[in-house]
Structure 1
Amino acid sequence: MDFSRVMDVLVICVPVFAVLGLGKLLGIKGRIKEDHCQFINWLVYTFSLPSLIFNEVARQRFDSFLDPAVVLMPLIGLALVAMLTMAVAKVSGYKGGFAAAFVFGTFWANATYIGLPLCQNAFGSSGLAKAAIYNGFVLPFFILTGYLLIGFYGAGTGDQKIGARLKKAFLNPILLSAVAGIAVALVAEQFRNTDGSLNLPLPVVASATLFGSFLKMIGAMGLPLALLSIGASLRWEQTRTHLGALAWTVGCKLVVLPLVTLLLIRFLCPDTSPVAMGVTVILAGTPSAVAMYVISCQMGVERGFVSSMLVLSTALSVFTIPVWVYVVKGL
């Protein structure tokens, strides 16, 4: 075992999970209440993370976005794991909302609130930019597939039409900020010199630098706030029931999906950079998303089972994510 790499893993992972634990402790003590979490989530989702994503994406070279390891391999992995789980659901006799939750729980990842700080700690600014692209273009497919599965299994009791929910899911600040950042990067590419520097008037460069510093400050506060909110929101519900189903969904989410993603990249995209491979595998291995729980509650889909997946996957990711970070840092 490479103990220097182990130390790197601890430096990357421990702060993230320590802030999650602090949020849980503050929630237990009543210092962070439900209305606090709602405000934090609104602030982070609407302002902080879009600012962070836009700032990081806009600064990248445009050709760095055309990376199949980041935008295509995760979707192939999602399809493979979802189809396998649908077969297991059929054999097991799962139906309705439970079957839908059983399937979408295997891939619907918290790639934003937990994934972004992990990728930033692991790979710095370049890792954060790759993670932003993943969030902007892969995460909406998690949501889309989740809705499609709810419809396929005839589940859900929400009064809002699926089309309206999908429109809201795709026209969200995270996706829009990534698209805007790519547009800016594309425009900036037209003014780059051969050495990569921008051939623009000094006032334009200075203004962009000042605006970028502002966005960086707004964005920097979002990641720890998001982790505090997640920690405070975790609740144990029905974790002693459906143990077999929970073991499958959480196992796929934390172990099978990142493993499949890693193998797909190694065999289909052998020239992928270590940063792109590492970011994609780490994000694939993040625990279940809070958005999955929120949408399940809105749609009336197995609130207790989904809550159990969220809490159990988050708790076990304390052990699995460091393993994946150790693996990808050695590639």
Structure 2
Amino acid sequence: MLDLLAIVVPVFLVVGAGYLAVWRGLFKDSAVDGLMVFTQKFAIPCLLFTAIATLDLSAEFDLWLLVSYYGAASACFAFGVLAARALFRRPWPDSIAIGFAAMFANSVLLGLPVTERAFGTGALGPNYTIIAFNAAFCYLVGITTMEIVRAQAKGLQLLRTVGNAMFRNALMIGIGAGFLVNFSGLPIPIVAQDALDLMIRAALPAALFGLGGVLYRYKPEGDAGTIVFLCGLSLLVQPGLTYALGAVGGLTTGQMRSAVVTAAMAPGINAYIFADMYGVARRVVASTVLIGTGLTILGAAFWLAILP
């Protein structure tokens, strides 16, 4: 158990350092916004661009890997929506935001560093395959369902709303550019790659520190039952379903590790961004992001103990 915690805890120590720095006034709250803009719109897109551009798609792309991960994510979205509506009596828009949080694991800021520390940099190929579709899939499901429930957009207007949300996202732009380079076979100039590498080295540490600062804003309050339920869906049910589907589909050891570890991560900041975009369930989702991120220390250790 101590060996497993030694893998996971350093990641969360960096998150905790960011939380502590903002709490004690050592790092201004406004500086956190600037740091997160740098990581989310520049450094991490560079990381994803390079990873996708150099990914051996013939070796890493596996349909059942995506079915295992996104089948479990879709099930948790449905469970979250229905439970929020039937058990917790939330309005439909709130329920959609709660289901979105259950579906959207923090695949980049937590999934990548935990997988890398546990299994090494060479194990990240399946992670990048999952991440390549994550924002597009989750926003497609979430926005489409929300717009249908709210009856705010139909037909072409609905497609335009979904498209704008996805293709103005810097992470999606980095992933799309990476696929273009990968498919075209064009080499990245050495000087350009050296510059990208400088950005990449800053991406995850800065993002983890910034995540801690962002989490300081989200004070857990009220809606305890919904928060506990949502944490259980995110940290236990989604990785459990992913593991079961992966076993049925015969995923390799490396694919199973990446899929389950990614699924076991707490909801990401994008879950709060989605709730804030529609002005619904913000307190529940923000509290779940905060509490779930802390619980991920134990959850990740549990799943790492189970994985081969």
Q: Which residue of the partner structure matches residue 111 of structure 1?
A: 107
Q: Which residue of the partner structure matches residue 128 of structure 1?
A: 124
Q: Which residue of the partner structure matches residue 276 of structure 2?
A: 297
Q: Which residue of the partner structure matches residue 75 of structure 2?
A: 80
Asked if residue 312 in structure 1 is aligned to residue 291 in structure 2, the reply is: yes
Moved more, 302-311 or 9-18: 9-18
Shift of the 62–79 alpha-carbon distance from structure 1 to 2, 3 Å rule, reads closer
Shift of the 299–15 alpha-carbon distance from structure 1 to 2, 3 Å rule, reads same
Once residues 114 and 281 of structure 1 are traced to their aligned partners in structure 2, the CA distance between those partners, rounded to angstroms, is 13
Q: Which residue of the partner structure matches residue 94 of structure 1?
A: 90
Shift of the 38–168 alpha-carbon distance from structure 1 to 2, 3 Å rule, reads farther
Q: Which residue of the partner structure matches residue 36 of structure 2?
A: 41
Shift of 1:147: 2.0
Q: Which residue of the partner structure matches residue 21 of structure 1?
A: 16
Q: Which residue of the partner structure matches residue 229 of structure 1?
A: 210
C-alpha contact (below 8 Å) 2:85/2:92 kept by paired residues: no
Root-mean-square deviation over aligned CA pairs:
2.6
**Partner letter of residue 28 of structure 1?**
W
Q: Which residue of the partner structure matches residue 175 of structure 2?
A: 178
Deviations 1:19-76 (A, max 9, x none): 0010011011112223212211111122211211222222232302421244332221
**Partner letter of residue 265 of structure 2?**
T
**Partner letter of residue 147 of structure 2?**
G
Q: Which residue of the partner structure matches residue 284 of structure 1?
A: 263
Please state whether the residue corresponding to 1:296 is helix, strand or coil.
Answer: helix
Q: Which residue of the partner structure matches residue 224 of structure 2?
A: 243
Q: Which residue of the partner structure matches residue 274 of structure 1?
A: 253
Once residues 41 and 237 of structure 1 are traced to their aligned partners in structure 2, the CA distance between those partners, rounded to angstroms, is 16
Asked if residue 325 in structure 1 is aligned to residue 304 in structure 2, the reply is: yes
Once residues 177 and 49 of structure 1 are traced to their aligned partners in structure 2, the CA distance between those partners, rounded to angstroms, is 8
C-alpha contact (below 8 Å) 1:261/1:284 kept by paired residues: yes
C-alpha contact (below 8 Å) 2:97/2:274 kept by paired residues: no
Shift of 1:94: 2.7
Please state whether the residue corresponding to 1:323 is helix, strand or coil.
Answer: helix
Shift of the 242–122 alpha-carbon distance from structure 1 to 2, 3 Å rule, reads same
Once residues 236 and 174 of structure 2 are traced to their aligned partners in structure 1, the CA distance between those partners, rounded to angstroms, is 30
Shift of the 177–284 alpha-carbon distance from structure 1 to 2, 3 Å rule, reads same
Aligned mate of 2:135, from 132, 139, 159? 139
Once residues 305 and 165 of structure 2 are traced to their aligned partners in structure 1, the CA distance between those partners, rounded to angstroms, is 33
TM-score by length of 1: 0.82
Q: Which residue of the partner structure matches residue 265 of structure 1?
A: 246
Q: Which residue of the partner structure matches residue 54 of structure 1?
A: 49
Shift of the 140–229 alpha-carbon distance from structure 1 to 2, 3 Å rule, reads same
Shift of the 155–30 alpha-carbon distance from structure 1 to 2, 3 Å rule, reads farther
Once residues 225 and 99 of structure 1 are traced to their aligned partners in structure 2, the CA distance between those partners, rounded to angstroms, is 32
Between Structure 1 and Structure 2, which shows a larger proportion of helix residues?
A: 2
Shift of 1:112: 1.6
**Partner letter of residue 140 of structure 2?**
L
Q: Unpaired runs of 5+ in structure 2?
A: none
Please state whether the residue corresponding to 1:301 is helix, strand or coil.
Answer: coil
Deviations 1:220-279 (A, max 9, x none): 101011111110111475744222211111100011001101110110x21x22222111
**Partner letter of residue 246 of structure 1?**
I
C-alpha contact (below 8 Å) 1:95/1:153 kept by paired residues: no
C-alpha contact (below 8 Å) 1:288/1:313 kept by paired residues: yes
Q: Unpaired runs of 5+ in structure 1?
A: 190-203
TM-score by length of 2: 0.87
**Partner letter of residue 177 of structure 1?**
G
Shift of 1:304: 1.3
